Amino acid sequence: MADFLMVFKSPPPLQRRAATATASPQPPAITTASPSQVRQNYHQDSEAAINHQINLELYASYFYLSMSYYFDCDDVALKNFAKYFLHQSHEEREHAEKLMKLQNQWGGRIFLQDIKKPDRDDWENGLNAMECVLHLEKV
């Protein structure tokens, strides 16, 4: 038990270092993303299309998440709708993550955009929500 407690002892107090005349190194300047060195036969239009799809998947995830927590509210209480939409949100996010991983593997750069808020916060009922989902999935 004593050995166990010794492991979790607090570290000794830090000692102050004397100030030196040399200045600390400055962080590098922020630059724009340069093309990847591993990029081979990966057209910029393909990279842009993948980035666009990533952003659409993240928007869909956000959309489903909004629905999930709307239906999880006490005054709505449609728990199975909430569960279904939460599952869909996770699935859409996973799609985005897979595309981001592929983008990196192919030597592309990931450019995320702001995620637009869903057009509404009140999904009214299950039928209306499903109609909104149908429209979302068609786009």
- Identify the CATH number of the domain in which residue 53 sits: 1.20.1260.10
- Would you say 88 and 132 are in contact if contact means Cβ atoms under 8 Å apart? no
Residue 16, token pair as written in the block: 């102050």
- For residue 9, being part of any structural domain is answered with no
- Would you say 94 and 102 are in contact if contact means Cβ atoms under 8 Å apart? no
Is position 137 annotated in a ligand binding site? yes
In this prediction, residue 41 carries a pLDDT of 79
Q: pLDDT digits over 41-98, tens only?
A: 788 999 999 999 999 999 999 999 999 999 999 898 899 999 999 999 999 999 999 9
**103 burial class (0-12, 13-18, 19+ CB within 10 angstroms)?**
buried
DSSP 3-state of 27: coil
The count of other CB atoms within 10 Å of the CB of residue 106 is 16
Question: Residue 49 is part of which domain span?
Answer: 41-138
Task: Provide the residue type at 85 as one letter.
Answer: F
- For residue 97, being part of any structural domain is answered with yes
Is position 52 annotated in a ligand binding site? no
- For residue 18, being part of any structural domain is answered with no
- For residue 3, being part of any structural domain is answered with no
In this prediction, residue 22 carries a pLDDT of 47
Is position 95 annotated in a ligand binding site? yes
